[in-house]
Amino acid sequence: MRVDKYLWCIRYFKTRSIATKACKEGKIRVNGDLIKPSREIYPMDKITVRKNQVNYELLVLDTPDSRIGAKLVDIYRKDTTPTEALQKLDLLKYSKDYYRKKGTGRPTKKDRRDIDDWFIDKNIKNSTDDSEE
């Protein structure tokens, strides 16, 4: 089975064209090698998928005939992604929640207070650093 079709079948990508694009951009590796979307995969191949700034590692157990339900995904692959990578994903999620996007308007009252507190803390640190010298 083609690697792009496999990744679509086990629901790592929403569409097969997105999986193909990821292969062409070099975000998919099979056994450590960069591959084309048409590369055939076999059981016991190790696939590394770079998605959302996290490297997911998969072990191919079997190839499905067609796209499968989410409950059956574990029959066809084993997820060997390190827990540190998944923790990094959680940290990215929290950091994105805090920052506002550019062009979303004026800062809110809370944003202004946070900025003022940051400047006050910075000035206090600078004044204590000067007194130590």
Q: What confidence tens digit (pLDDT) does each residue in 86-120 have?
A: 787 777 776 655 666 666 777 788 888 888 887 77
127-to-11, 124, 130 alpha-carbon distances in Å: 56, 5, 5
pLDDT, residue 122, reads 65
> Where would I find the beta strands (DSSP E) of the chain?
28-30, 33-34, 46-51, 54-60, 77-79
Q: What confidence tens digit (pLDDT) does each residue in 25-57 have?
A: 888 999 888 888 888 988 898 999 988 888 888
